[in-house]
A and B are shown apart, each in its own frame.
Chain A
Amino acid sequence: MALMRLTSPHAHGPMSTQRVMQYVLLATVPGIVVLTHFFGFGTLVNILWGCLVALACESLALKLRGRPLGFYLKDCSALVTAFLLCIALPPYSPWWLIAVGIASSILLAKQLYGGLGYNPFNPAMAGYVILLISFPVQMTTWAPPLGTAGELPGLWEALQACFTPGLYDGVTMATPLDVLKQNNSLLIDDLWQQNPQFGTFAGLGWEWANLAFLAGGAWLLYKRIFTWHAPVAMLASLSLLAAIFYDGGSSASGGSPLFHLFSGATMFGAFFIVTDPVTSAVSLRGRLIYGALIGVLVYIIRVRGNYPDAVAFAVLIMNFAAPFIDYYTQPRTYGHSDKRGEK
């Protein structure tokens, strides 16, 4: 029998792209559970519907591009995009909003650029921003958290909200970040007392959701799915700016570092969006810079911009910058005295 000729290495490690994606999916579970606890089944319904649309879009694109379905679908990347976008969307979003968002993510932001690995922008965040610009009203209404406006909607209501949006009349409430932004006369402490959305140190429910995403991210770090550099840099620069401009909680305060760390999409962004390998910087130093700049942008947009949260914009802007960061942060190769080319 003829012997097979293959080039080295002949051994391969245990990691596979599919497994990386599955780990990421798994790591979102605590966050989803907390969101569901505080805001009801909205997010869960988002995700279920989003996944269906995502698989359909991915299959369609692969078919059009003449690629084998099974091989590409099994990398689970479409599901990851669906999960991430649907977590970011307001709970109880109508089906068409989700569908448009997912289709934009998968078809425009990912497949149009050549599929997984070739997309310059984070697909979930690209989809999110397209929705935010096209449907600002739907995108900025958030459900009230548990304990502020009576009973949470049940699963049935959640499904109704999604698939027969015209018939569903849900209650909405501004998010803590919104409240803070609208504030122009109250001290932070007063603001805290007058608005039911605030919890112990950040938004009610939000603080727990952020903690849960932090836990998921820590597990991924432990599993070495990504390195600590980008998320830590982002959180550090965000807290630093928040600390500098906190000014003791006056009416012009931008909010405390703790508030910023545990509000909105901070932890979710830090560990699930900023760490998207495809669209971030590649070297470790590059990731530090990439993450830190995202943190800076998040703070600036949150405090000075027109949108309630800023992770999506900050990430997209830095996606642009990633190739330049890569260019200037090439690591020093063994046996070279500086970064590039020269010995």
Chain B
Amino acid sequence: MRKTFGFHGGIHPPENKHQSVRTPIADAGIPPQLIIPLSQHIGTPAGVVVTIGEHVLKGQVIAEAQGFVSVPKHAPTSGTIHAIEDRLIAHPSGHLAPCIVIVPDGKDEWIECVGTPHYETLDKVELINLIRHAGVAGMGGAGFPSSVKLSVKAGTHIETLIINGTECEPYITADDVLMRERADQIIEGAKILRYIIGPQETLIGVEDNKPEGIAALRAAAQGSGIEVVDFPTKYPSGGEKQLIEILTGKQVPSGGLPSQVGVVCQNIGSTVAIYDAVVHGRPLISRVTTVTGNAVREPQNFQALIGTPMRYLLEKAGYQPEKNRRLIMGGPMMGFTVPDIDVPIVKTTNCLLAPTEAELPTPPPAQACIRCGMCAEACPASLLPQQLFWFAQGKEFEKLEHHNLFDCIECGACSYACPSNIPLVQYYRASKAEILQLRRDHEKAEASRIRFESRQQRLEQAEAEKEAKRAARKKAAEQRAQATGGDAGEDPIQAAIARAQAKKAAQGTGDGDESELEKLEKAVVSAQKRLDTATTKLEEAKAAGSDFVEALQTGVDKTRAKLAAAEQALGVYQQSHQPEAAVEDKPPVDAAAAAIEKAMAKRQAEAAQSPAEKARADLEKLQKRLQKTQETLIQSKANGDEEKVIIALESTVVRLTEKINAAQQTLQAAEDA
């Protein structure tokens, strides 16, 4: 027996699982209409590739994935595209969302599916791609695309692959029946995952309230090296972080990902879907959904097509609408109420719970918090929910963050335990949303402040530079007039001397170039920093299954682009300033001598070239550089990059233009000569 670890807190709500496991998984059949939301999970919505009236086959792609955190959608059965329009979907917000509506033709005709029973013939990347193209996403919780979870950053060492068969929420038995009836497929799927990830050990974690499932899995796992680990039932042991702690004793760092402690998790449903995708080449178009609660006469599990309206499933289970006032998608602890019974089931619909009022009574009004601490005892994240509640009421956001509000997984254990019936989680959700909003506002304000300040600085600097250059030019002209008696441009060496001197003079007045370099470097560093924070935030949000992942993802992408732009700007700058920088490194007195030396060397090397040719070559080089910088500039403007980067790029353009002017003059002079 493997040693398991406990986790802090947890509760033991009535399980209510027996009702729905009395019969085997039933095929729900084909409903009269299928509604497939384009965005079924966190991440970018898929892009439609079918038109209204088009006939599609079962398994045909109807919407392509867009972006990394996205998977394609497939037709769950053959039929005609009836509409592409906004429909009500199952989402806590109760908003309308774009959907593809299919009217089935009843033939249930598959496209050609090519399975790869010998998956070892493919490499990992190919397999991950295959899984992605099959549209496999997490089938419980946030519905994160499985392919993303499997694409572990190179160099991350994964010790443990965990298949999450915990299913700790009351009422839900979708994974349980899969374990009982399709243990072989789960084990096969786990083997595929093991092949992709290459962990030291592969574990399937199951709560000990599913003895049949455990037995079936153990039998199927014989000789596979996959270990089925059972542990005492306690909610929420199925939370990813909790399960990792139970099985490995390790805690995922706050805001981090399981891979940071060498763990990758997948749930049972996804594992079966991966098996289907790889071995049979079938996309994820249906799932097992528990339909339960006392308002249905025959609670049971259905194999239902994605897009099946909930009404259809409920009626198959003997729905008694008069007894049901709230319909919950998911379990009683973390599920959310759906706005209408005609919304479709999606990849994450593991359960439809139709309780009667007696079963899950409407919560009575909240009483005062008596600080009894029962919530803290129940909290799996070791938070102090009563303190969080106190601060949330007073909108003390700093204290909330200080008390680690963002480590709350919204499991609901605290609200369950609270004798005063305080809807604690509701307060936390609202506070989290408010804090995130404030952060965004703050960032915006900060950005515009920086923009203003740097614009101010830029203007001043430009003014100073101009002044310095003017003075230098004047001085140089005078000197030149003295030295050559008006024979300027004839001898490049003389010109170089003059230029160097002018430069020296310019240096005396304003150190424009150096601060420019610093500025660019700073821009790169700060962009890097921002990217880091944005990435952490994103990971945090992903881990918490937050609704903001999408927004954060865009943020990260943008910041990454900005970083690239800043780096490029720096590169461009360094390139264009290399020789001068080298000169500047030496004491200014030597600058003139060095310039002379350089110019002489150049003249020797380019002896074959006429001065005019050389000047032309220089000019061309400069023009090319200008063009490149301008492109970058346009690009970053289009990206809506930060002002700092744009300013840096702009000043590079200005300087290059100046240089080109100078070069043109030189060329003119050379040609004239």
Contacts and interface: CB of A to CB of B under 8 A. Distances in A.
Interface string B351-387: 0010100001111010111111110110011111011
A337 B373 CA distance: 23
B337 A3 contact: yes
B522 interface: no
A199 B336 CA distance: 62
Interface string A277-292: 1101011100000000
Interface in A6-32: 6-13, 15-17, 19-20
Contact of A9 (B372, B377, B412, B419): B412
A166 interface: no
A170 B330 CA distance: 68
Interface residues of B, number: 76
B425 A1 contact: no
Interface string A206-228: 00000000000000000011110
B327 A11 contact: no
B335 interface: yes
A278 B370 contact: yes
Contacts of A71: 365, 367
B368 A118 contact: yes
Contact of B419 (A20, A227, A326, A337): A20
Nearest to A280: B371
Contacts of B369: 117
Contact of A17 (B8, B330, B420): B420
Contacts of B282: none
A86 to B, nearest CB: 21
Interface in A70-102: 71, 75, 77
Contacts of A284: 376
Interface in A49-65: none
B328 interface: yes
A10 B355 contact: yes
A4 interface: yes
A71 B365 CA distance: 9
B521 interface: no
Interface string A321-343: 00000100011111111001101
A3 B340 contact: yes
Which of B325, B338, B360, B374 has the most chain A CB atoms inside 10 A of its CB?
B374
B407 A334 contact: yes
A333 B254 contact: yes
B404 A336 contact: yes
Nearest to B429: A7
A291 B339 CA distance: 49
B198 interface: no
A334 B92 CA distance: 26
Nearest to B239: A334
A116 interface: yes
Nearest to B254: A335
A295 to B, nearest CB: 20
Interface in A108-124: 115-118
Contacts of A326: 387
B254 A9 contact: no
A8 B333 contact: yes
A236 to B, nearest CB: 20
B382 A331 contact: yes
Contacts of B339: 3, 5
A277 B375 CA distance: 12
A121 B371 CA distance: 13
Contacts of A8: 330, 332-336, 410, 412, 425
A114 B324 CA distance: 39
A334 B326 contact: no
A16 B421 contact: yes
Contacts of A343: 253-255
B423 interface: yes
A1 B319 CA distance: 14
A12 B384 contact: no
B417 A15 contact: yes
Contacts of B362: 4, 6
A278 B377 CA distance: 16
Contacts of B664: none
B209 interface: no
B429 to A, nearest CB: 7
A336 B368 CA distance: 30
A109 B369 CA distance: 17
Given A20-B419, A336-B407, A227 B373 contact: yes
B403 A336 contact: no
A224 B420 CA distance: 15
A54 B412 CA distance: 36
Interface in B223-272: 241, 245, 251-256
B387 A12 contact: no
A77 B420 CA distance: 12
Nearest to B403: A330
Contact of B341 (A3, A77, A226): A3
A282 B371 contact: yes
Contacts of B101: none
Contact of B384 (A19, A75, A283): A283
Nearest to B409: A334
A5 B372 CA distance: 29
Contact of B402 (A75, A277, A282, A340): A340
Contact of A11 (B7, B13, B94, B371): B13
B419 A334 contact: no
B144 interface: no
A17 B325 contact: no
B415 A9 contact: yes
Contacts of B429: 7
A30 B361 CA distance: 36
A17 B370 contact: yes
A10 B357 CA distance: 11
Contacts of A11: 13-14, 170, 332-333, 360, 412, 416
A217 B79 CA distance: 69
Contacts of A12: 361, 363, 415-416, 421
Contacts of B255: 335, 343
A250 B147 CA distance: 78
A5 B363 CA distance: 12
B441 to A, nearest CB: 22
A334 B381 contact: yes
B336 A7 contact: yes
A15 B474 CA distance: 89
Nearest to B321: A1
Interface in A272-328: 277-278, 280, 282-284, 326
Contacts of B419: 13, 15-17, 19-20
B371 A5 contact: no
B484 interface: no
A278 B371 contact: yes
Contacts of B170: 11
Nearest to B13: A11
Contact of B337 (A4, A116, A278): A4
A334 B368 contact: no
Contacts of A331: 376, 382-384
Contacts of A277: 370-373
Nearest to B407: A333
B426 interface: yes
A282 B376 contact: yes
Given A3-B325, A117-B370, A117-B371, A333 B332 contact: no
Nearest to B543: A335
Contacts of B345: none
Q: 3 closest A-B pairs (Cβ-Cβ)?
A: A9-B412, A117-B368, A335-B254
Given A1-B321, A3-B338, A75-B367, 14 more contacts: A3-B327, A3-B337, A4-B337, A6-B362, A7-B336, A9-B425, A10-B360, A11-B332, A12-B421, A13-B416, A13-B417, A326-B387, A333-B381, A340-B402
17 contacts: A3-B327, A4-B362, A5-B94, A8-B412, A11-B332, A12-B416, A13-B418, A15-B419, A17-B421, A71-B365, A224-B374, A278-B371, A283-B376, A335-B241, A336-B407, A340-B402, A341-B404
